[in-house]
């Protein structure tokens, strides 16, 4: 707008023609005159107060209509809630029915599986019973032969004779415990291991006792094994194993085991022989005299030398045997025969050799 009074009519024209703003002469005609003001820029502004439409008084009909709309809305919402609840319940019911159906199907599956397993077990039991009856009654499993491993000293004929009592019997009911006990009573049998070679053969493996010493007695020699067990009584000369004097203070028979001081001396002698073997002692020990535990005596028959060894000290036995082995080598190289005394505690300095003249 221009800054002049002439603009009033223009203003009225503009107002009338400004339909987009919803403001026109109609407002002025209704008594709402515009209020003109001039802003800071010198431009004329106007304001027209547009009257509010008078509120229509609320009637019973209006109240009823509003009540009806509210109730209708509430009924609609309630119906929707009921519908949602019913849908939820239907879904839950469907899930439960589906779960029940699944459980029923699973139950049927496991029932079928249990039935199959039961039938299989019964079948297996029946087959097992048939096999057991057949195995115990069929002539196929009657013992017809006995096999014994090769032995050195154990009497194979005696072993076969013991086992032959079961010839013709069923191989599954043979009393292996009884056979084993009877075989192990034989002098040179340490252990008897019995097994079945199906369908009709007994297999016997014999672990023999080894002769270790021949202990001298008034009636001959007791042949003792590595377990201090008396295997046999022998008479005459013994050459295959060392003979021992001065050990036995008690009487023994075949099948007995040494005891008391006899067993202690036996253990010392066994330790001595094992130590000599471990250091590769080169000479055969024979004619052992262990009457005095402080002075073991023995012969090296191949060299014609008698040895007074002294006490068997387990802590120094290896060193002492190595020392003796070297001295005996010297005697052998020079052809010396005689007596070698290493019984002194300080044997390195006090060993004496008496040459036989």
Supply the pLDDT for residue 324: 96
Supply the pLDDT for residue 77: 73
CA distance 252 to 300: 29
Hey, what domains does the chain have and what are their CATH numbers?
Answer: 7-47 (no CATH), 141-208 (3.10.20.310), 213-355 (3.40.50)
Supply the pLDDT for residue 249: 87
CA distance 42 to 3: 6
* 197/30: higher pLDDT: 197
Residues of the chain with pLDDT > 90, as a percent, come to 55
Chain-wide mean pLDDT for the chain?
82
Supply the pLDDT for residue 71: 61
The 10s digit of each residue's pLDDT in 64-88 is 555 555 566 666 777 777 777 777 7
* 81/12: higher pLDDT: 81
CA distance 238 to 169: 44
The 10s digit of each residue's pLDDT in 311-345 is 999 999 999 999 999 999 999 999 999 999 999 99
How would you class 324 by CB atoms within 10 Å of its CB: exposed for 0-12, middle for 13-18, buried for 19 or more?
buried
């Amino acid at each position: 707008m221009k800054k002049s009074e002439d603009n009033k009519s223009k203003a009225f024209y503009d107002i009338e023609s400004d339909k987009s703003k919803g403001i026109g002469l109609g407002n002025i005609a209704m008594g709402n005159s515009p209020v003109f003001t001039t802003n800071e820029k010198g431009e004329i502004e106007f304001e027209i107060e547009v009257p509010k439409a008078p509120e229509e008084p609320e009637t019973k009909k209006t109240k009823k209509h509003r009540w009806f709309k509210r109730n209708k809305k509430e009924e609609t919402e309630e119906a929707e809630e009921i519908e949602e609840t019913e849908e939820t319940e239907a879904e839950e019911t469907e899930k439960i029915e589906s779960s029940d159906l699944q459980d029923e199907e699973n139950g049927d599956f496991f029932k079928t599986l249990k039935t199959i397993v039961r039938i299989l077990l019964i079948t297996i039991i029946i087959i097992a019973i048939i096999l057991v009856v057949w195995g115990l009654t069929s002539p196929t499993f009657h013992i017809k032969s006995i096999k014994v491993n090769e032995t050195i000293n154990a009497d194979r004929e005696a072993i076969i004779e013991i086992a032959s009592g079961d010839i013709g019997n069923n191989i599954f009911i043979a009393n292996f415990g009884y056979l084993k006990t009877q075989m192990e009573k034989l002098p040179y049998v340490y252990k008897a291991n019995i097994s079945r070679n199906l369908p009709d053969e007994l297999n016997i493996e014999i672990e023999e006792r080894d002769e270790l010493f021949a202990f001298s007695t008034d009636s001959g020699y007791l042949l003792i094994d590595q377990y201090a067990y008396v295997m046999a009584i022998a008479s005459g000369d013994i050459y295959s194993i060392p003979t021992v004097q001065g050990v036995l203070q008690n009487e023994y028979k075949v099948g007995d085991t040494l005891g008391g001081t006899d067993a202690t001396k036996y253990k010392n002698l066994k330790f001595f022989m094992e130590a000599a073997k471990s250091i590769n002692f080169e000479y055969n020990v024979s004619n052992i005299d262990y009457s005095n535990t402080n002075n073991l005596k023995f012969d090296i028959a191949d060299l014609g030398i008698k040895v007074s060894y002294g006490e068997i000290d387990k802590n120094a036995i290896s060193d002492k045997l190595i020392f003796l082995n070297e001295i005996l080598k010297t005697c052998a190289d020079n052809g010396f025969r005689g007596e070698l005394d290493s019984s002194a505690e300080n044997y390195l300095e006090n060993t004496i050799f008496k040459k036989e003249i």
